[in-house]
Amino acid sequence: MMFRRRDLRSTLPAASVPVEREPASPRFSSLLGAGWRWLVRLNARIDDSWVGDLLGLAGLLVGFVSLLIMAGVLQ
């Protein structure tokens, strides 16, 4: 038995038909790409330096202190 291919748009209700959108402007997409590349470079630079270690230590200390405070409040 062979199945016929049906057009998906003809079987979906009107509310669920995908809306065709215009593509993002080249300026906006290049701006996003440039921002993403900047973040990746910054991450690589921080990850390989002592600044990254200090940021990690600060995050751990803040997390530990906040857990201690929450434990005291919830007790």
Tokens, residue 40:
């990746």
Tokens, residue 6:
């049906």
Specify the pTM: 0.46
- Convert the pLDDT of each residue in 39-74 to its tens digit: 999 888 888 889 889 999 999 999 999 999 999 887
Taking residues 18-47, report their average pLDDT.
79
3-state SS assignment for residue 21: coil
Is the confidence at residue 10, as pLDDT, over 70?
no
Of all residues in the chain, the percent with pLDDT exceeding 90 is 29
pLDDT of residue 61: 97
DSSP structural state of residue 52:
H
Rounded mean pLDDT of the chain?
78
Contacts of 17 (CB under 8 A, 6+ apart): 9
The domain segmentation of the chain, as residue ranges, is 41-75
